[in-house]
Structure 1
Amino acid sequence: MKKIWLAVMASALLASAGCQNAGKAQEKDSAAQNASETGSAEKDTAGESSAAEENESKKDAEPCYPYHITSKNTGDWKYSKNEEALLVASKYNLLGADVYVNPDTGRADEVKPEILAAVDKINGDTEKISKNFVKDNAAEAEEMRAQHAQDDLFNSFENENIVKPVRADSGCLTVVRENYSFLGGAHGFSETTAYTFDAATGKRLKLADIVKDTENIPEILAAEVPKQNENADGLFDQDGKMSDGEKLSDRIREMMKGDGYEGENDTAYLNWYADRDGLQFVFNQYDIGPYAAGKFYVKLKAEDYPELIDTRFFEVPEQYIEELEEGKTYSIGGADLKVSFQYDPSDGSSYIETLRVDYAGKQATYQPYSYRESIYHLHTKDGDYLYCNDFTENDWQSLSSLKLSKTEEMKFYQETAGVYDAVMIDPEAMILGGRTELLSSMQMERSYRAGKDGRLEPNDKYFALKPWEDFQLTLKQDIELDVLESLETEKSHRETVKKGTKISFIRTDDKSITDCRTDDGRIVRFHVNGDVWPHIVEDKYPIEELLDNTIFAG
């Protein structure tokens, strides 16, 4: 057996998307469809018919589009001369459009080609930006390094592109790319680029596709910039003019010629995107103010501008998830909410020692001791909750949940799953992950919903296993195992599986069962006692004597 110390578990978790109850409805529909196809005599056909009708009714009442967006930390472009010090580096992540494969049934729907085309467009732009940054700046970086050969003051040129889905449902696919670059000067530069696609057609939307009349948009935005941005204080006079004398509304009108499409004109372009309940406008550094002022943000909620904004794109769901920022005050449930971090002073302030929640005059704290936190607000029909995702050593992640209450004591609960690179959108279908140690260490994931108390409740019995590409185990001796007729029925018979058979991973209950597929297509079930080392398989075989190529994290 190979025992390998793994610093980072590979993760590319699927993101939750779609309408409310999407995950559960898909699973029930899938099971009902399979039962109808197989015509199993042992099933209650009347019950199947009733369940199928109920699910069809749900689908009519709650139209949904069951696709999910994945985020993969893909790679980088680098340039070094003669293998010396790094001169230019550009990192980026790519997106994928996928569906959640139900580990209980093995079923999944296909992704519409329109969505695949939209994702390909975003990925193509991201890769082009990253590659061209290295190509365009290699010579200048080499020259600057030569100038500082004696004083060692040269810092390599850097570029990073973080692409993050904001919305992925039946109405829109919205993605924001945050680009940071450093070219050896006094400071770096950050820029936001946004994409909003119509999920039905795959068409990249222009502002005029969502705003009924764009004529007054410059004046509306010019009036809202100082209202919604504290960093705009003193930058514009009472007539709305900037320091160079140009009216802010005129600058915005000029920017609208690009309409959010980079490269269409030589000036800055108007950056906007459709989020859950309205339009978010982003003004990058230098767009309407000096570098030191930073970016400016303006939100126009669809409900506040019903005569202006096409509300068809903004049917706010009964339940939703939104990511929050540390240190910012939010109004939730009629009370103020603020999440703040306290860092460990003994560790150079790099680790979060205490996370504190202030809500409705009450407090709750816990000690994550993590180097990063993601904070999510879940609004459900049963209440409002916070999910805090801890990033700890070896990039291990886990959630802590908290029910927000104005009257009762608030308490954090540690969950067993983490967000990883998932996009949290639907409280009824959150695709979350963890790590299993049965047969080998690997990533696993399954769909969860928020329970009435905010605690995670699984939608599925099993976890889908996410091993490394082409990772297989090989039997070192013959063994008698349960062979399943299908993943859904779990009916089985005992059968001898021969030495030399290669097996691939399918799913696990993360307790004692791991189901695998043999190289001849059989679904075999391993019963594993993971409470002892070495693990014992089928109450008889030490794992090191039974399987070759197992990998366990230290």
Structure 2
Amino acid sequence: MKRTKLFLSLLCVALVATGCKGSVESPAVEDNSTKEDSQTTEVATQENSNYRPEIYSGKEYIFEEAYEDGVYSDAYVTGHYDMYKLSPETREAYPALNTAIEDSMNARKKKYDETHAEYLDSSKQLRESGEVSTFVLESDLFLRRADEKVISFVDQDTEYAAGAHGVTRYESYNFDVQSGKEILLADIVTDKEAFQSKLAQALTEKYGEDTFNDLEGNLADLSLDNYEWAFDYNGITFYLNEFASYSAGVITANLPYDSSFLTQDFAINSNEGYISQIPLYYPDTTHIDIVDSLDEGISISPNYDPNNLDLFWIQSLNISKDGQTFTTDDLYVWDVEAYIIHMPDGTESLMLMTTGDNDYSCSYVYSLDGQIKLLSNDNFSHGMVCEGDDYGQIVPIDPEKVAFVSRFDLLATFGGTRNYSFESNGTFTSVDKYYKTSRTHQQDLVSKTELTVPVVDEAGEETGEEVTLPAGTHYSIIRTNGDDEVDCTIEDGRIIRFHLEDSNGEGFIDDIEINGVNAYDLFEMLWYAG
């Protein structure tokens, strides 16, 4: 199955370092830049900071093999749960927020670890009675809004524990960035009666009266503490499955920020852009329903490979908005993430991040204003951060600073992350000169001979100093310009630069030279992926 493939692929991510999803609980970044390097923002801790938070995402995988009578059978339990962590700069700027996020993630880990243990026990008991059923426990976090006012995300929890079908539920997390306190619905609703009346109207207009039974009465009886809701780029979104039957699917409604019954303290900043991830779920079992239309006015539904329906490979996607439908070209992927990019001028675009065979990743941007059409396509995957052997993804938040990773074969195979700015024509422009690598042991080089190389500063500027280093020196790749420069740290902390040459001009890794000598003759091992 495709998620098993992903789990196995993570074992070799240090070599491949392409677009694989991270397998980390709490990723962290090693910072090698200064204020001159645009990859780093200098942050001062203060009572009211204007620093926009940065978030890293990792996955904890669940896979319990079943081994019976010397033969592997269907797994007892499969799945994963996402974990968030703030970047070092964000932790420094907002220590109270960091404590709140850490506490919520610790509680989250405890919850899903306990459910995992319960499901494993139940699945084994079923297996002993003769029923073979793989339990599913999957929990994805979707960042809806992050700025200097709020961080808001939802947990899409999908579970299957035998029977006819599974269930998908939503839990919301809303934090005041400045204070770290949880934001309650009572903090933003100024008139409960007017709020519930407008919410009932929005639900009825969207789904029809027949979908609900005594909707207004049920809403009136519901305490504000019992709603699941999130701050979005276009208002407050509510998740209300308890008011409709299972067959109705996921029930949501959106109320704009300028509603008369909402305080304006947490309205969006009109001069900022936002990126919000759309909750999607394309299961690889018929026991769990597809989630394809949570955001207001937009649906992204999969077309599976008709010749291999049991493999759940997505051949293409149908994108629908405001009565228009657009079908993508052939994708043939097994994972899709979708993001709304909302610009300060009000224009909106859809960004899809796909993962297919061999974990090959691509990004696609589509216009959502007027005619739906493809604007750009790049071989991008999510920007990565690393601590030791643990990897995490940089969550897209701000259109002016979107982190993507690209693969390089320059003295090693590695992924390099740099920031890009989203442009009005749907393309991305780099705002960084260098790609920062995710540090791994596989990027360490050990010289076989003496090397004379230039010294560079943390901003990437050559200092004018050259140093001659003996054979046996260890070099750790930290960044590259993506072409002919590779910067490394050495054991005393200095940064040196290798200028790469290609005497044949054909771009083959076997032809890379430094100071006129082939790289294979200079180092003990060059770690290239096959």
**Bucket of the pairwise TM-score, normalised by the shorter protein:** 0.7 to 0.9
Query: Residue 170 of structure 1 corresponds to which residue in structure 2?
Result: 148
Query: Residue 123 of structure 2 corresponds to which residue in structure 1?
Result: 141
Instruction: Kindly provide the amino acid, as one letter, of the partner of residue 236 in structure 2.
Output: L
CA RMSD of aligned residues (A): 4.0
Q: In the aligned structure 2, how far is the partner of 1:358 from the partner of 1:205?
A: 31
| Contact 2:298 2:319 (8 Å CA) reproduced | no
Query: Residue 447 of structure 1 corresponds to which residue in structure 2?
Result: 419
SS of structure 1 residue aligned to 2:333:
coil
The answer to whether the aligner puts 1:275 opposite 2:264 as a matched pair is: no
* TM-score (normalised: structure 1): 0.74
What residue ranges of structure 1 are gaps of 5+ in the alignment? 15-27, 34-54, 57-61, 101-107, 237-241, 260-268
Shift in Å at residue 452 of structure 1? 4.3
The answer to whether the aligner puts 1:302 opposite 2:257 as a matched pair is: yes
Instruction: Kindly provide the amino acid, as one letter, of the partner of residue 489 in structure 2.
Output: R
Instruction: Kindly provide the amino acid, as one letter, of the partner of residue 315 in structure 2.
Output: I
Q: In the aligned structure 2, how far is the partner of 1:310 from the partner of 1:4?
A: 48
SS of structure 2 residue aligned to 1:516:
strand
| Contact 2:153 2:174 (8 Å CA) reproduced | yes
| Contact 2:13 2:20 (8 Å CA) reproduced | no
Which residues of 2 match residues 404-443 of structure 1 at below 5 A? 412-419=375-382, 421-443=393-415
Shift in Å at residue 70 of structure 1? 1.1
Alpha-carbon distance change, 381 to 395 in structure 1, aligned in 2, over 3 angstroms: same
| Contact 2:175 2:181 (8 Å CA) reproduced | yes
| Contact 1:13 1:445 (8 Å CA) reproduced | no
Q: In the aligned structure 1, how far is the partner of 2:366 from the partner of 2:248?
A: 35
Q: In the aligned structure 2, how far is the partner of 1:351 from the partner of 1:546?
A: 45
Q: In the aligned structure 1, how far is the partner of 2:446 from the partner of 2:355?
A: 34
Of the candidates 492, 495, 500, which is equivalent to residue 523 of structure 1? 495
Query: Residue 321 of structure 1 corresponds to which residue in structure 2?
Result: 275
Shift in Å at residue 517 of structure 1? 0.5
SS of structure 2 residue aligned to 1:371:
strand
The answer to whether the aligner puts 1:351 opposite 2:314 as a matched pair is: yes
Alpha-carbon distance change, 181 to 373 in structure 1, aligned in 2, over 3 angstroms: closer
Alpha-carbon distance change, 29 to 428 in structure 1, aligned in 2, over 3 angstroms: farther
| Contact 1:281 1:297 (8 Å CA) reproduced | yes
| Contact 1:11 1:443 (8 Å CA) reproduced | no
The answer to whether the aligner puts 1:537 opposite 2:513 as a matched pair is: yes
Between 166-175 and 524-533, report the one with greater CA deviation: 524-533
Q: In the aligned structure 1, how far is the partner of 2:117 from the partner of 2:98?
A: 28
Shift in Å at residue 94 of structure 1? 1.1
Q: In the aligned structure 1, how far is the partner of 2:169 from the partner of 2:374?
A: 38
After superposition, the C-alpha distances for 1:278-320 in whole angstroms (9 at most, x for unaligned) are: 2111123xx22222222311211112x1x31111211243433
Query: Residue 189 of structure 2 corresponds to which residue in structure 1?
Result: 211
Alpha-carbon distance change, 196 to 460 in structure 1, aligned in 2, over 3 angstroms: same
Shift in Å at residue 428 of structure 1? 1.2
The answer to whether the aligner puts 1:289 opposite 2:244 as a matched pair is: yes
Instruction: Kindly provide the amino acid, as one letter, of the partner of residue 223 in structure 2.
Output: M
Shift in Å at residue 343 of structure 1? 4.9
Between 522-531 and 426-435, report the one with greater CA deviation: 522-531
Alpha-carbon distance change, 160 to 405 in structure 1, aligned in 2, over 3 angstroms: closer
Which residues of 2 match residues 228-267 of structure 1 at below 5 A? 228-229=206-207, 234-236=210-212, 242=213, 247-256=214-223, 259=225
Q: In the aligned structure 2, how far is the partner of 1:283 from the partner of 1:322?
A: 20
Query: Residue 461 of structure 1 corresponds to which residue in structure 2?
Result: 433
Q: In the aligned structure 2, how far is the partner of 1:109 from the partner of 1:127?
A: 20
| Contact 2:34 2:459 (8 Å CA) reproduced | no
Alpha-carbon distance change, 350 to 426 in structure 1, aligned in 2, over 3 angstroms: same
Shift in Å at residue 388 of structure 1? 3.4
Q: In the aligned structure 1, how far is the partner of 2:248 from the partner of 2:321?
A: 29
Query: Residue 463 of structure 2 corresponds to which residue in structure 1?
Result: 491
Query: Residue 265 of structure 1 corresponds to which residue in structure 2?
Result: none
Which residues of 2 match residues 341-380 of structure 1 at below 5 A? 343-348=304-309, 350-353=313-316, 366-380=329-343
Q: In the aligned structure 2, how far is the partner of 1:94 from the partner of 1:118?
A: 13
The answer to whether the aligner puts 1:132 opposite 2:114 as a matched pair is: yes
| Contact 1:194 1:271 (8 Å CA) reproduced | yes
Alpha-carbon distance change, 90 to 340 in structure 1, aligned in 2, over 3 angstroms: closer
| Contact 2:333 2:355 (8 Å CA) reproduced | yes
SS of structure 2 residue aligned to 1:313:
coil
Query: Residue 176 of structure 2 corresponds to which residue in structure 1?
Result: 198
SS of structure 1 residue aligned to 2:509:
coil
Alpha-carbon distance change, 519 to 125 in structure 1, aligned in 2, over 3 angstroms: same
Q: In the aligned structure 1, how far is the partner of 2:459 from the partner of 2:92?
A: 19
Query: Residue 73 of structure 1 corresponds to which residue in structure 2?
Result: 59
Alpha-carbon distance change, 502 to 74 in structure 1, aligned in 2, over 3 angstroms: farther
Alpha-carbon distance change, 380 to 215 in structure 1, aligned in 2, over 3 angstroms: closer
Alpha-carbon distance change, 401 to 447 in structure 1, aligned in 2, over 3 angstroms: same
| Contact 2:235 2:256 (8 Å CA) reproduced | yes
Alpha-carbon distance change, 458 to 132 in structure 1, aligned in 2, over 3 angstroms: same
The answer to whether the aligner puts 1:92 opposite 2:81 as a matched pair is: yes
The answer to whether the aligner puts 1:500 opposite 2:472 as a matched pair is: yes
Q: In the aligned structure 2, how far is the partner of 1:356 from the partner of 1:3?
A: 32
The answer to whether the aligner puts 1:391 opposite 2:391 as a matched pair is: no
Shift in Å at residue 424 of structure 1? 2.8
Between 271-280 and 168-177, report the one with greater CA deviation: 271-280
| Contact 1:3 1:553 (8 Å CA) reproduced | no
Q: In the aligned structure 1, how far is the partner of 2:295 from the partner of 2:66?
A: 46
Q: In the aligned structure 2, how far is the partner of 1:337 from the partner of 1:180?
A: 21
Instruction: Kindly provide the amino acid, as one letter, of the partner of residue 60 in structure 2.
Output: T
Alpha-carbon distance change, 203 to 446 in structure 1, aligned in 2, over 3 angstroms: same
Identity of aligned residues (%): 21
* TM-score (normalised: structure 2): 0.77
Shift in Å at residue 469 of structure 1? 6.5
Instruction: Kindly provide the amino acid, as one letter, of the partner of residue 359 in structure 2.
Output: D
SS of structure 1 residue aligned to 2:462:
coil
Alpha-carbon distance change, 254 to 311 in structure 1, aligned in 2, over 3 angstroms: same
| Contact 2:278 2:294 (8 Å CA) reproduced | no
Q: In the aligned structure 1, how far is the partner of 2:323 from the partner of 2:125?
A: 58
Q: In the aligned structure 2, how far is the partner of 1:496 from the partner of 1:210?
A: 63
Query: Residue 49 of structure 1 corresponds to which residue in structure 2?
Result: none
Q: In the aligned structure 2, how far is the partner of 1:130 from the partner of 1:68?
A: 25
SS of structure 2 residue aligned to 1:30:
coil
SS of structure 2 residue aligned to 1:547:
coil
Instruction: Kindly provide the amino acid, as one letter, of the partner of residue 81 in structure 2.
Output: Y
The answer to whether the aligner puts 1:31 opposite 2:36 as a matched pair is: yes
Shift in Å at residue 31 of structure 1? 3.0
Query: How many correspondences in the alignment?
Result: 473
SS of structure 2 residue aligned to 1:222:
helix
Instruction: Kindly provide the amino acid, as one letter, of the partner of residue 122 in structure 1.
Output: S
Q: In the aligned structure 2, how far is the partner of 1:6 from the partner of 1:215?
A: 56
What residue ranges of structure 2 are gaps of 5+ in the alignment? 1-11, 25-32, 281-291, 384-392
